[in-house]
Amino acid sequence: MTGPRRVKNLWVWILVAAVVSAIVILWGRWQVEKSNNTVELVMDYRAAKLLCQNADYPLDTFLLQARDRGLKSVAVGERTIKDIATLGQAYAFSGRQILDYDRLSPVSDPVLRRMIDELRLYAGNSYLFPRDHEVFQDLVEILSVRLLGERISTFSSQRLGSFLETARGIPDLERVNTGLDPEAAREVSEAGLRIVARLRNYPGATPHKISFFFNRIPYKESISLMIFEGMEVLGYPDYLSDVRDLMLLNSMDFGQVEFASQTGDSRFARLMGSRVIRVHSITEREMEKIPFDKAVERFTRAARERNMRVMYIRPFPAEIGDAGAIDKNLSYIQAIREGLEESGFSIGQARSSKEYTPSRYLIVIVGIGILASAFILLDTLFSFPPVIELGLFGLGIILYSVLLSTGYAILVRQLAALGGAIVFPMLAVSALYSKSLWKGHTAEGVHLKDAILLWLEASAISIVGGLLVAGTLSSGTFMLSLDKFIGVKAAHAIPIALGAVVCWRYLAGWEQLEDESGHGVPASIGDLLMSPMRIWHVLALAVVALGGLVYILRTGNFYLGLPIPQFDEGMRRFLEDLLVFRPRTKEFLIGHPALLFAAALALSGYFRLSLPLVLVGCIGQISMVNTFSHIHTPIMATLQRTFYGLMLGGIIGIVISAVFIYFSRKTGSHQPVPGEEHFGE
């Protein structure tokens, strides 16, 4: 026994070293997170302009008032030919429109008349008639680059002035972007607000065209943030590096919008390195129906729990003549600012976080700790000669260390974290169940203190696992959600399935049965399969299957494809108001009470009855480890959420267990299982 015991001691010391290394990594991550505490409120210019038009309110006055309420910046997008025409700076006609007009009333302008007579005015072409020569020169300069390679002709008429002809039809021409809106930029600047640039991608974009429009950005020297418009990042797919170079040259950060399906944003964010700021936004469609308080909560929660540092605000829409919409939206901005300040943030210009790359040696040690935990779990199921165990362990260390130096380093870290998320919840319930069986067999009576200590020990094992998972993944790309924890569903399902096997191993006393009766594991499984199937068995299996399906599908933010139930949502909001960092429902309301009560049942001798509750309790342990895998969440938020879950779940579990123990003692009941003499280490 000396050899196996020494190996077990080795695993423990390796785990201690891994935990220390993980704490060092997480300390460095916390330093980076706490140094970036400024949140920027940005409003969409077009949405603000539409609000003021509908409410018949001066835009410049609204911007000044919004600034006083906490707004820091306004996002200005590009103008299109349609915008220019709408403003009356140019008139756009198709050749067909001009020819139809000529049939009703002959065109008298000499230039157009000659083009019509010589059949050089084409029905499918478009004709732009600028308001003045300055607008004409600007359009010629822009379109000669934007439509490079396409035919553009210019004409001069004494009556109509200078005008342009393009081979594009009116619908295509109206969609052509012409650069950042200079009038909007001027209004924003005069209101004392910062400008956030919004350029868009377009077919035919080239490095020359992209550079041209960058150079035409008004107030470019004072712009430090770019949030791309449209469904694609500017320069996608071939010229992302060129856009990156221009942004770095102009000291601009990239604003990556959370939950946006913008093609190329992840690739571009990787190219930008640490010059990425995470943006939270509520879409126009959502703004039509979202309640005021809920919208405010979304922004504060995004900053507090997901490290969002730019809040992209779209105002609540206004009906025509709705003057009250202005006050509502000013109050909205102020409420967001106050909510953020109450959460400890300051309002100002958002900055990208410092790049964080922990020591590779520390990551290796943490990974070795996860590997050691896997061997601890294997020791509970099988008996390996120490030489074989150490040989396999050494091979695992070499493989992990070598792969971390290759292009698969991120994948290797993700797989190591997944392994930790699977192993540690199983270790937690295994430790609780094995010790509760032993104590339940030897102790004269159950004590609530014993059940609590067993539950706390199991939870401590899961927290150790969470620290190792977080330590493995903590680095810049994971903090920006460019890389993420993989295998979420597997991490939730596998520990319960394998945990059932581990606990059954303790309950059935497989090793002793095999030694004394020769019955063995295969025969035990055969007996189970040959047992008669009863109706309640079918019903029980159906309930378990349905519960398992709900559990797996419920690992996200939707309940079987439907929104969160009203009661659940109300409870979450109450806990957020009370505790700020809301504990997970599956921890404090399900997992922790079930596991604590399972310990009390097992200590009372109800071993088989406690097994299902142990597996339900495993949900809480899985959830705790999974919480640490959310690297975009500040580590302090994760720790507080975990603590609150333990606190609330412990209270519920203690109440349930205390009631059970009281009535158990009052009735003097004790339920040892048949074959109890087989239980032991």
Residue 346 phi/psi, 5° resolution?
A: -105, 150
pLDDT tens digits, 374-423: 999 888 777 778 888 889 999 999 999 999 999 899 999 999 999 999 99
Written as one string, the DSSP assignment of 157-225 is ETTTEEEEEESS-HHHHHT-EEEE-HHHHHHHHHTT-EEEE--B--TT--HHHHHHHHHT-TTGGG--E
Reference 130, options 156, 163, 98; nearest CA is: 163
Same domain, 597 and 457: yes
* Average confidence (pLDDT) over 553-579: 65
pLDDT tens digits, 41-94: 999 999 999 999 999 999 999 999 999 999 999 999 999 999 999 989 999 999
Looking at residue 570, its pLDDT comes to 76
Within a domain: 199: yes
Looking at residue 557, its pLDDT comes to 46
Angle (CA) 582-588-592 rounded to 5° is 150
Mark which of 143, 174, 205 sits at the end of a domain.
Answer: 174
Within a domain: 435: yes
The range of the structural domain enclosing residue 191 comes to: 38-77+181-347
CATH number of domain containing 293: 3.20.20.70
Same domain, 122 and 195: no
Spatial distance between the Cα atoms of 520 and 344, rounded to a whole number of angstroms: 61
Least confident of 287-301, 338-352, 556-570: 556-570
Same domain, 414 and 386: yes
Mark which of 347, 365, 399 sits at the end of a domain.
Answer: 347
What is the DSSP secondary structure assignment for residue 480, as one 8-state letter?
Answer: T
Give percent above pLDDT 90 in the chain.
69
pLDDT tens digits, 256-272: 999 888 999 999 999 99
Bigger pLDDT: 544 or 142?
142
Q: How high does pLDDT run on average in the chain? A: 87
Exposure letters 467-483 (e unless 16+ CB within 10 A, then b): bbbbbbbbbbbbbbbbb
Spatial distance between the Cα atoms of 443 and 603, rounded to a whole number of angstroms: 8
Query: Packing angle between helix 566-579 and helix 635-667, nearest 10 degrees?
Result: 110
Looking at residue 574, its pLDDT comes to 81
Kindly give, in sequence order, each residue whose CB lies less than 8 Å from that of residue 397, ignoring residues fewer than 6 positions away.
368, 371
Same domain, 367 and 311: no
Spatial distance between the Cα atoms of 180 and 512, rounded to a whole number of angstroms: 78
Same domain, 227 and 311: yes
Within a domain: 649: yes
pLDDT tier at 553 (50, 70, 90 boundaries)?
low
CA atoms within 13 A on the CB side of 361: 1
The dihedral formed by the CA atoms of 602, 607, 610 and 611, expressed in degrees to the nearest 10: 130
Within a domain: 352: no
- How many domains does the chain divide into? 3
Mark which of 317, 347, 377 sits at the end of a domain.
Answer: 347
Within a domain: 48: yes
Same domain, 152 and 68: no
Query: Is 60 exceeded by the pLDDT of residue 621?
Result: yes
Same domain, 187 and 333: yes
Same domain, 468 and 576: yes
Task: Give the 3-state DSSP-derived string for 501-548, with helices as H, strands as E and coil as C.
Answer: HHHHHHHHCHHHHHHHCCCHHHHHHHHHHHCCCCHHHHHHHHHHHHHH
pLDDT tens digits, 445-462: 668 898 999 999 999 999
Bigger pLDDT: 590 or 320?
590
Same domain, 246 and 362: no
Query: Is 90 exceeded by the pLDDT of residue 208?
Result: yes
* Average confidence (pLDDT) over 340-362: 94
Bigger pLDDT: 432 or 608?
432
Same domain, 433 and 306: no
Within a domain: 655: yes
Within a domain: 590: yes
Strand partners, 163: 155
pLDDT tens digits, 244-258: 999 999 999 999 999
pLDDT tier at 558 (50, 70, 90 boundaries)?
very low
Spatial distance between the Cα atoms of 33 and 48, rounded to a whole number of angstroms: 32
Strand partners, 263: 232
pLDDT tier at 674 (50, 70, 90 boundaries)?
very low
Kindly give, in sequence order, each residue whose CB lies less than 8 Å from that of residue 50, ignoring residues fewer than 6 positions away.
317
Same domain, 135 and 88: yes
Same domain, 42 and 119: no
Where is 256: in which H helix or E strand? strand 253-257
Spatial distance between the Cα atoms of 679 and 442, rounded to a whole number of angstroms: 10
Q: Is the dihedral of CA 75, 76, 77, 83 positive or negative?
A: positive
Written as one string, the DSSP assignment of 326-347 is HHHHHHHHHHHHHHHHHTT-EE
User: What residue has token string 């990787």?
Assistant: 270
Helix (H, G, I), strand (E, B) or coil at 94: strand
Least confident of 341-355, 506-520, 572-586: 506-520
